[in-house]
Amino acid sequence: YKQPHYEGKRTTMVHLFEWPWPSIATECEQFLGPKGFGGVQISPPNENRIVNGRPWWERYQPLSYLLHTRSGTEQQLIDMITRCNRAGVRIYVDAVLNHMTGGGSDAQTGTGGSLAHYEKHQYPAVPYGPGDFNGACNIIDYQAPQQVRNCRLLSLLDLNQSKPHVRQVLVNYMNRLIDMGVAGFRIDAAKHMWPQDLEAIYGQLHNLNTSHGFAPNSRPFIFQEVIDLGSERITTSEYSPLGCVTEFRAANELGKLFRGRNALKWLHNWGPDWSMLPSGDAVVFVDNHDNQRGHGAGAGDVLTHKDGKPYETALVFLLAHPYGLTRVMSSYAFNNSDQGPPATSDGAIVAPRFLRNGQCDHLVGWICEHRWPLMARLIELRNIAGSSPLTHWWSQHDQQIAFARANAFVAINMEKEKELNAKLQTGLPSGVYCDIIDGEKSDSGCSGRKLYVDAEGWLQLQLPPGSISSVATHINAKL
Ligand code: LM2
Ligand code: CA
């Protein structure tokens, strides 16, 4: 359950938050596949409750398991999964298994046209009835595991995953998706479900579909959303034996570090020594769809696309460092934390559109961090470095660091007043390299800065103080 089943040497997934299925299909073919992205986390594909004003979070209120949402129909989902797999890009489904809809109104309508009665606990399109849910308590005390798992999160009707019928419904839903060709699942709100119930559910999942290019007997990739910042009784280690787990401490710490609230020199032992999960268990990211807008927990220090250089440099570190399974965020612009994706007045999502320079047209509202030239180059760097260990760690003062991977090298200066001026070991074969931070190698040479690595692998480097500055390069950027 801890293998993402990426094609070839790919390493990283992108969360195409709220994207329509047809747009994801073309994105796999035209951009993600060619640029070496490993997979896409998609928004929940099952029918959700329609909430007034169409906030993004209505998709975290399941109303049935019909595959019909604002992102598209079942046919469009099937087409997208097929085309992405053909382009070498895997699909991971955001699976909302903990609960159904929340309160506020009794008669509720879903995106597939189904109806539900919140007060009567009736979801006829599934079907679920009163006996499929836990009691009527609400979660107040996060230090009480029993309550966190058996009571309602934000009034959302809490499914009882120990009931055979509930388990069977959830297993059938996931197996349909596996048969369609998905490679795995993000398990939403995993903390709110018992590990033993989840284990039983995972155990009944089909192997991945070999006609979509998966090796025989491949188990689905599972990564569980557990927010554990060290202050609660439920911990990530209860879930890591079952599959991978989101490591929110990484987002938190990277936010502090690249906001200048901690010293980069401490990154020398980034990983489990920071009270984070073992590398092979951890899904790591700079921000996610919750904490980039103050939802979820521990969002305070998190960096987002709104933060410019500190965000970009956090991404440089995340993607260059060997720790964890990396995921990057692809967002839309928002003014308030409930705002849904770009949509027409009748609620249809407006598809992303691209400018001639390859960037998303911001007039539509999509940010598309994954299309940033720097992002694509960093993905290439991570794919090249593969599973090689970190070597040649170097630091000076508090905020100057450098390190190498097999065939790749990075240096960062975040000192306010001190220039980085040092001879650094890159581990690279001698030659002239193109820095990929501000430019790239092209037919005509290098549009960025040139880096001269001598016969023994040394680089005499100067990086100015003041705003953050960095260089990164790898063997494919050798001129
Ligand atoms: C999560 N972790 O386990 C996410 O971190 C969290 O952001 C999700 O909530 C949650 N699971 C459920 O999947 C999101 C959103 C909430 C939203 C819920 C349900 O962050 O704001 O709650 O989805 O759509 C909304 C309202 C809330 C209301 C609730 C029920 O914001 O005020 O509670 O709907 O109607 C009365
Ligand atoms: Ca629960």
Give the ipTM of the model, two decimals please.
0.96
Q: Ligand 1: which residue has its CA nearest to atom 26?
A: 154
> Cβ(183)–Cβ(39) under 8 Å?
yes
How many whole angstroms from 57 Cα to the centroid of ligand 1?
6
How many whole angstroms from 193 Cα to the centroid of ligand 2?
5
Q: What is the pTM of this model?
A: 0.98
E strand or H helix that includes residue 458: strand 458-463
Locate tokens 């760690």: which residue?
A: 393
Residue 382 CA to residue 410 CA, distance in Å, equals 11
Q: Which of 478, 367, 371 is nearest to 431 (CA)?
A: 478
Whole-number pLDDT of residue 444 = 83
> Cβ(56)–Cβ(347) under 8 Å?
no
Q: Is the CB of 290 under 6 A from ligand 1?
A: yes
Residues of the chain below pLDDT 70? 298
The C-alpha angle 99, 81, 112, rounded to 5 degrees, equals 45
How many whole angstroms from 276 Cα to the centroid of ligand 1?
26
Phi, psi of 82 (to 5 degrees): -65, -45
Question: Would you call the peptide bond into 127 cis, given omega within 30 degrees of 0 as the criterion?
Answer: yes
Can you list the pairs that 265-274 forms with residues at least 24 positions away whose Cβ atoms lie under 8 Å? 265/395, 265/396, 265/397, 265/398, 265/399, 265/400, 265/401, 267/317, 267/321, 267/395, 267/401, 268/393, 268/395, 268/401, 270/321, 270/323, 271/323, 274/249
Residue 2 CA to residue 164 CA, distance in Å, equals 26
Nearest atom within ligand 1 for CA of residue 189: 3
Burial 209-232 (b: 16+ CB within 10 A, else e): beebbbeeebbbbbbbbbbbeeeb
Nearest atom within ligand 1 for CA of residue 104: 35
Q: Is the CB of 57 under 6 A from ligand 1?
A: yes
Q: Is the CB of 102 under 6 A from ligand 1?
A: yes
The C-alpha angle 408, 13, 329, rounded to 5 degrees, equals 100
Taking only the tens place, the pLDDT of each residue in 141-192 is 999 999 999 999 999 999 999 999 999 999 999 999 999 999 999 999 999 9
How many whole angstroms from 272 Cα to the centroid of ligand 2?
29
Looking at 17-114, which runs of residues are DSSP E strands? 39-42, 90-95, 107-109
**DSSP per position, 101-135:** --SS-SEEEBTTS-EEETTTTBBTTTTB-GGGB--
How many whole angstroms from 154 Cα to the centroid of ligand 1?
6
User: Residue 238: which region, alpha, beta or left (left: phi > 0; alpha: psi -120 to 50)?
Assistant: alpha
CA dihedral over 384, 387, 388, 390, signed as positive or negative: positive
Q: What is the token pair recorded at 139? A: 């979660």
> Cβ(9)–Cβ(324) under 8 Å?
no
Residue 54 CA to residue 76 CA, distance in Å, equals 21
Q: Is the CB of 43 under 6 A from ligand 1?
A: no
Whole-number pLDDT of residue 297 = 77
Nearest ligand to the C-alpha atom of residue 197 = 2
Whole-number pLDDT of residue 296 = 86
Indicate which residues carry an active-site annotation: 188, 225
Cα 40 to Cα 11, 18, 53, distances in angstroms = 12, 12, 27
Whole-number pLDDT of residue 300 = 82
Residues forming a β-bridge with 156: 153
- Listed in sequence order, the residues at least 6 apart from 127 whose beta carbon sits closer than 8 Å to its beta carbon are none
Whole-number pLDDT of residue 131 = 98
How many whole angstroms from 88 Cα to the centroid of ligand 1?
33
Q: Ligand 1: which residue has its CA nearest to atom 6?
A: 296
Phi, psi of 178 (to 5 degrees): -60, -45
Q: Ligand 1: which residue has its CA nearest to atom 20?
A: 295
Give SS3 for 293.
helix
Taking only the tens place, the pLDDT of each residue in 380-436 is 999 999 999 999 999 999 999 999 999 999 999 999 999 999 999 999 999 999 999
Question: Taking the CB of residue 177, how many other CB atoms lie within 10 A of it?
Answer: 27
Q: Is the CB of 193 under 6 A from ligand 1?
A: no
Ligand 1 pocket test, candidate residues 17, 154, 185, most atoms within 8 A of CB? 154
Q: Ligand 1: which residue has its CA nearest to atom 4?
A: 296
Q: Is the CB of 55 under 6 A from ligand 1?
A: no
